[in-house]
Structure 1
Amino acid sequence: MAVRQDARTVTLATPGYEIAVAREPFAITTRRAGRTVLATAASGAFDVTRPDGTRVTPTKVASARWSHGTLDLSVATSDAATTLTVAVTPSADRYRVRTGVKGASAASATALHLDMASGGHWYGHGEAKSDAEGEPDTRQPWPLDAATGKEQVNDTSFGPASYLMTEPFWFTATSAGLYVDTGNLMRVSLGRLHPGVADFEVTDTASLDATFFVERTPRAVYQDYIGIAGRPRAVGATPAQFTEPLWNSWAQFYSTVDQKGFLEYARSLHDAGVLGHTMQLDDGWMTHYGDYTWNAKFPDPKGMSDQIHAMGYGFGVWITQWINLDADNYQVAKDKGYLLKSKQDPSQPCTVTWWNGKAGLIDLGNPDAYRWYEGQLKKLQADYGVDGFKFDTKFFDERCAASNGLDAAGYRRLGAELAQQFDLQGAGIRVHWTGAQKYGFVTRTVDKGTDWASLNAAVKQNLAVSVIGYPFVATDMIGGSDSMPPPSPEVLVRWAQAAALMPIEYSSTSPLKVYDFVNRTWVTYPPEVARHYAAATRLHAALAPYIRDQADRAVRTGEPIMKPLFFRHPDDPASYTVADEWLLGDALLAAPVLASGTSRDVHLPPGAWYDVVRHRAVKGGGLRGYRADLGTVPLFVRLGTSDTPRLLKILE
């Protein structure tokens, strides 16, 4: 390590990169091979917000001291009575920055500001929230900097208890990365609050702990983060769940589902020869939300379960931890102290609003409440032959008070441990934040609309979730949902084809017929829709052994199954902005049609590829106007890999 100081700059030089700290105005720039790969924003590197809303910003470095491998900086600020302390500790492929405040009253938040252009294209984050209408159901930027205006990322509730799958990790095309070590709620803006600036604010703290990665490829940055967060300890789905789709009732019926309709739905799919491993009953079966008893629409739930099993399917139901105020269980849980408490009045339960009304939330930090909830799920299994569950819930809410010394991450852990006792049936669970990777859950991305924009958002969100460490991804139900009119025949088929080339298939809308709840009419699809849908499920089943091998690899190494082209081809500049293709493993490139029409442009990274549809070898580059009618899925096998021979055998 070489340390150089002059009147303007303090420079730390390692064999792989250097950190330049400008004295006035205070700024930090990271360079590799003489090129800037990441820099703090010109408007200021950090700031601290006081409880009254006043922002204190750094001005100049008052002192700098190198000792025991750390550069300690004392930085003057816009408040003469406040000093920012900054400790920079470099190592081989990263450096850690820890900040604090001296002389100030309590701070309500601490923020870091980075110049987005210095990193080129940005990735990571997970499911992206913005100010645009319909997000994130119909929008997900890829790369993150591709969004403009109201579609730019702006999440004011970014944290471990968020319903969205998010992670405090970002990386760039320059092979730099950022990890913010916190369990606190964050506010994240990528260009929305301040043009060209990535703002990362951690609330309820006067300090910040961030690690900056400096590597030679983006994939190496990803691996650095996985080294911190951990890789899956086990594969979160059975072989059958990797082979055939899960069928869930939501988009087919929404909450109007009844026993007769559910059985007809299952029987029609079975008779049509569309593959599936499980029939899962979504919202609409409970007497009240939080009561695990059947409403009048299900006169014989055990008989229904038996009929589902007789068709060769598993049987599952949707559950949540929210207990609505009108539920019988609410008064039971309130009287026994099983609900999270209010922050304002700890003698009362915390009341939150979710998409189905006002509710309390079971306090898993209370061992008796945990066992009570767990017991109700096991009783459903024992009494009605329920094989598994779709967990659709939060395990904590920052609006409530924690118990037993837990924080949001602690509740996430308890929720994950509870869920691991049960078969999640390929629907998985939405558990996230640094360290949650180890559970190996299947992750279904957030509900989507039913149009082309939603399909494209589904693909991008799968990529976004994959590159924050969750390899077992499925889109929201094939064809989407979100109380929109059913997908067009073209959208439904193309979505099924895309999902066939992802780790897990998650289905709902029947390719035979579906009820349009917006226009109050049944929609019967043309016969070719079921034919093409069934063909897509067979394609996925044929690829399942290859996909399962990638799943095992994810456990060994943390490598995503579905990944961006530049993970394997970092020296291909065009790959960094391709948002409608991906690699499945290292050897199969998926380029399904994601827009109306019968052709698309395809980008192939450098090298030799086999065009599965045209039965020909092709070189990397652009294929313009590649023809693909409704029954055709553009696929390309990388030649010369260990997986090439078996993929060619499967796909020929």
Structure 2
Amino acid sequence: MKFTDGYWKARRGVAPLYAVEVDDVRVDEAAGTMTVFAPTGRISHRGDTLNRPMLTVDLSAHAPGVVKVRVTHHAGAAVRGPHFPVAAEAGYTPILKLDDEEGLLDADGLTVRVKRNGPWRIEFEQDGRPLTSSLPKSVGYMTSDGSGPLPAGTWVHEQLTLEPGESVYGLGERFGAFVKNGQEVDVWNEDGGTSSEQAYKNVPFYLSSKGYGVFVAHTEKVSFEVGSEVNTRAQFSVPGQSLEYYVIAGPTPKDVLRRYTALTGRPARVPAWSFGLWLSTSFTTSYDEATVTSFIDGMREREIPLSVFHFDCFWMREYQWCDFEWDPRVFPDPEGMIARLHERGLKVCVWINPYIGQRSPLFAEAAERGYLLRTTDGGVWQWDQWQAGMGLVDFTNPEASAWYVGKLEKLVDQGVDTFKTDFGERIPVDDVVWHDGSDPQRMHNYYTQLYNEAVFRLLERRRGEGDAVVFARSATAGGQQLPVHWGGDNDSTYASMAETLRGGLSLALSGFGYWSHDIGGFEGTPDAGVFKRWLPFGLLSSHSRLHGNTSYRVPWAFDDEAVDVARRFTRLKLSLMPYLGRLAEEAHTEGVPMMRPMVLEFPGDRGAHPVDTQFMLGDALVVAPVFSATGDVDVYVPEGTWTSLLDGSTVTGPRWVHQKHGYTTVPLYVRPGTVLPVGARDDAPEYAWADGVTLHCFELPDGFDQTLTVPGGTGAPATFCVRREGDRVVASSGDAPGEWGLRVGDQAGRATFANEITIVLAEEATR
């Protein structure tokens, strides 16, 4: 939302008030707070204090490296929820200092300096390194009378400086340009597909390439102007009388995400089976149990391992979504069918959403009990989009939430393992009343959190922590706690494949540890080339699903080569479970995503900062999907010699490398100095990952010494020490005595030990 007309003037109808200078600074050492009083005009004598509005800026610290800032005009204004829950470190207080020149708040190296003299200025530093500043015209209270382009109302904004060369990322799953500089972004959940500025997952958090983050702790619409109103500043504004935000220190982007997810919640552990391939019925296709069985048989006959089968919307009868009852015309024996799928080693997922169509038998029940969102006149809010006469479950009512979960519990009793929690974005704000009195504007984005949490906690309660997972489309800040999320409705084109990746990269830098997307695209039917190019991208993402709209996504529906590609990359992913298992644990314990933009792994490499056509799968593997029918692809290679995991060839960076790939290959390079554990199995994600593991060593420098823990999977974990001593690579295991070595240059390049641990040196390392 823009308030100015160029640099000097306000937009028509807008009356701005800015923090101009500091009148006083007060410190409460016991509470760990600093309060700054800022007149909105220069005070040269006592008379200037009369009829002069003042803005109050409160500073505090929630944890080391996390500073909270609250800007207030009128403190007595009513503020209804919901609010984002944030976790403060118990008993933590910052260092506070006050003298004639400045007030200082130090949160373990993240320092805020409030200049007491001269024009308004607040500086944020980390260990003496400048991060960003609030300067004149940064802190503003804006009033619009509605006569200009803005509606009538009031807003509070902050503007934090951007330095030359600084890039801004995040703000949720956004499918446009990965670097947000120059963009106007409204944090407002919408069901708009992947080809517009709208987003399903809006998160009011951005991360800077300078190594800090900003979280605007408002659930209502937050408007960001990232170098797009003032070229040298990132502006964020909210309606009302106050604005609350957090500055989060690094120094690296990973450190920022660790602190941000400690504040808003870390991703839950997800079960190993969720990393396998998910196959769907697709949306409007015609299917019954025989169709499902034919798909599963086809995958098995073609030796493509399958872990989850998903039933999309039409497992329920049309016009009755949601009634949570299997359509008896096509699924007369759901319990028996689910049992048969379980006997084949598959998990079962079914589609749901939080909307109750008027023809559903549950509509009257929910309406009578007050479980649906109400209008201001006491009626049930309804519309005809999606489902005729649908209402919306009011999750602010604990009884309504329990009622909804109870319907799902019956499905769990039947054997359903997980739910695709679709929708949650089309939440009305006009003339509606929530059960708990929530502000409709603030509930619009936050509704998805209540919805997904109700479903996720049910699965957690029934299946146990670490074995619960949903497949969710909508989210906001904190939604990362309730994995997994997928990218929404994309097109079946190369361009949409690329925009899908941009959405995943932005979401990763918004605190989300896991992410998936519809392989081949959702809208339309991809040609065989698009589908085959999309398969490696999807199968080297954290989670992988074959799903479409009006057509099936079984590989043989395209051509025989698609079957080969699906088989190859599904099995490759499953063999990487010893590596992926570690990444998943890091996502849970540290908040570092499994799929990582290049800037996250290489913040010191300016060439990596804008890269949005590839990603790091963890810290060791770079994946560059091919977005062209010809197979042409450009790969950014950071410093060092990188080795292809597929054919052993090498490339050296830092530079861009142009390549051409067939359908069965993709740029997949291993970082130099990597010990990559590869599992002994490739037929399922659930196995004893450390048993028979192979340690592939890539470009280990002399003196390399690393302790590597391979997670256990269904077995026990194992710890190995790998080091290079001159021309020998030596490994030792905590589970087996002795040491085993392989001489660099040995023709075989392989050593197998008594405990079935194998070391393999990459081809380049043996030359």
TM-score (norm 1): 0.78
The CA deviation at 1:433 is 3.3
| Bigger relative CO (Cα 8 Å, ≥ 6 apart) | 1
Contact 1:96 1:212 in 2 (8 A): yes
Residue equivalent to 2:71: 99
Per-residue CA shift, 1:347-379, capped at 9, x if unaligned? 212225654454211123333322322222222
The CA deviation at 1:531 is 1.0
**Segment drifting more, 316-325 vs 570-579:** 316-325
Residue equivalent to 1:481: 522
Contact 1:246 1:426 in 2 (8 A): no
Provide the secondary structure at the position in 1 that maps to 2:244. strand
Cα 1:110/1:46, change in 2 over 3 Å: farther
Quote the Cα distance in structure 2 between the aligned partners of 1:515 and 1:247.
10
Quote the Cα distance in structure 2 between the aligned partners of 1:647 and 1:357.
57
Residue equivalent to 2:291: 261
Quote the Cα distance in structure 1 between the aligned partners of 2:548 and 2:669.
28
Contact 1:226 1:469 in 2 (8 A): yes
Which runs of structure 2 are paired with 1:478-517 in the superposition (5 Å)? 478-482=519-523, 484=524, 486-508=525-547, 514=551
Quote the Cα distance in structure 2 between the aligned partners of 1:273 and 1:116.
53
Per-residue CA shift, 1:134-189, capped at 9, x if unaligned? xxxxx4321223x7xxxx55436259xx9722211112223343211223333345
Residue equivalent to 1:20: none
Quote the Cα distance in structure 1 between the aligned partners of 2:8 and 2:363.
48
Cα 1:395/1:125, change in 2 over 3 Å: closer
Provide the secondary structure at the position in 1 that maps to 2:313. coil
Which runs of structure 2 are paired with 1:292-307 in the superposition (5 Å)? 292-295=324-327, 297-302=329-334, 303-307=336-340
Cα 1:187/1:627, change in 2 over 3 Å: same
Residue equivalent to 1:231: 266
Which runs of structure 2 are paired with 1:126-137 in the superposition (5 Å)? 126-128=172-174
The CA deviation at 1:333 is 1.1
The CA deviation at 1:397 is 3.0
**Segment drifting more, 528-537 vs 163-172:** 163-172
Does the alignment pair 1:207 with 2:242? yes
Cα 1:547/1:474, change in 2 over 3 Å: same
| Superposition RMSD in Å | 3.8
Cα 1:283/1:103, change in 2 over 3 Å: closer
Residue equivalent to 1:29: none
* Unaligned segments of structure 1, at least 5 residues: 1-39, 129-138, 517-521
Which runs of structure 2 are paired with 1:2-81 in the superposition (5 Å)? 55-59=14-18, 61-68=20-27, 70=34, 72-76=36-40
Query: Greater share of helix residues, 1 or 2?
Result: 1
Residue equivalent to 2:208: 172
The CA deviation at 1:216 is 3.8
Residue equivalent to 2:619: 586
2:487 to 438, 445, 459: 445
Letter of the 1:235 counterpart: R
Provide the secondary structure at the position in 1 that maps to 2:576. helix
1:394 to 416, 420, 424: 424
1:122 to 168, 188, 200: 168
Provide the secondary structure at the position in 1 that maps to 2:55. strand
Per-residue CA shift, 1:508-540, capped at 9, x if unaligned? 259xx9569xxxxx9942211111111111111
Which runs of structure 2 are paired with 1:233-632 in the superposition (5 Å)? 234-236=268-270, 238-242=271-275, 244-250=276-282, 253-254=283-284, 256-287=286-317, 288-295=320-327, 297-302=329-334, 303-342=336-375, 344-345=376-377, 347-352=378-383, 354-382=385-413, 384-394=414-424, 397-399=427-429, 400-404=432-436, 408=443, 409=446, 412-413=449-450, 415-422=452-459, 428-430=471-473, 432-437=475-480, 439-475=481-517, 477-482=518-523, 484=524, 486-508=525-547, 514=551, 524-632=557-665
Contact 1:46 1:111 in 2 (8 A): no
**Segment drifting more, 295-304 vs 630-639:** 295-304
Q: Which has the larger radius of gyration?
A: 2
* Unaligned segments of structure 2, at least 5 residues: 28-32, 43-49, 79-152, 191-197, 678-693, 698-758
Quote the Cα distance in structure 2 between the aligned partners of 1:103 and 1:292.
46
Contact 1:365 1:411 in 2 (8 A): no
Provide the secondary structure at the position in 2 that maps to 1:577. coil
Contact 2:492 2:526 in 1 (8 A): yes
Contact 1:116 1:197 in 2 (8 A): yes
Letter of the 1:275 counterpart: P
Quote the Cα distance in structure 1 between the aligned partners of 2:60 and 2:558.
60
Quote the Cα distance in structure 1 between the aligned partners of 2:496 and 2:362.
37
Provide the secondary structure at the position in 2 that maps to 1:571. coil
The CA deviation at 1:427 is 5.1
Contact 2:424 2:451 in 1 (8 A): no
Quote the Cα distance in structure 1 between the aligned partners of 2:369 and 2:75.
46
The CA deviation at 1:103 is 11
Cα 1:170/1:45, change in 2 over 3 Å: farther
Query: How many pairs were matched up?
Result: 572
Contact 2:508 2:597 in 1 (8 A): no
The CA deviation at 1:266 is 3.0
Provide the secondary structure at the position in 2 that maps to 1:493. helix
The CA deviation at 1:507 is 1.6
Quote the Cα distance in structure 2 between the aligned partners of 1:71 and 1:269.
64
Cα 1:183/1:441, change in 2 over 3 Å: same
2:669 to 614, 622, 636: 636
Cα 1:222/1:81, change in 2 over 3 Å: farther
The CA deviation at 1:553 is 1.6
Cα 1:363/1:583, change in 2 over 3 Å: same
Quote the Cα distance in structure 1 between the aligned partners of 2:19 and 2:371.
52
Quote the Cα distance in structure 1 between the aligned partners of 2:539 and 2:568.
9
Per-residue CA shift, 1:377-408, capped at 9, x if unaligned? 222343x5433321213299352422235574
Contact 1:45 1:58 in 2 (8 A): no
The CA deviation at 1:256 is 4.0
Cα 1:612/1:306, change in 2 over 3 Å: closer
TM-score (norm 2): 0.67
Cα 1:509/1:163, change in 2 over 3 Å: closer
Quote the Cα distance in structure 2 between the aligned partners of 1:627 and 1:280.
35
Cα 1:454/1:83, change in 2 over 3 Å: same
Cα 1:514/1:330, change in 2 over 3 Å: closer
Letter of the 2:323 counterpart: D
Quote the Cα distance in structure 2 between the aligned partners of 1:452 and 1:433.
28
Quote the Cα distance in structure 2 between the aligned partners of 1:647 and 1:554.
23
Quote the Cα distance in structure 2 between the aligned partners of 1:84 and 1:362.
42
Quote the Cα distance in structure 2 between the aligned partners of 1:391 and 1:196.
40
Contact 1:610 1:638 in 2 (8 A): yes
Cα 1:196/1:265, change in 2 over 3 Å: farther
Letter of the 1:451 counterpart: T
Cα 1:372/1:618, change in 2 over 3 Å: same
Quote the Cα distance in structure 2 between the aligned partners of 1:224 and 1:425.
25
Quote the Cα distance in structure 1 between the aligned partners of 2:281 and 2:265.
34
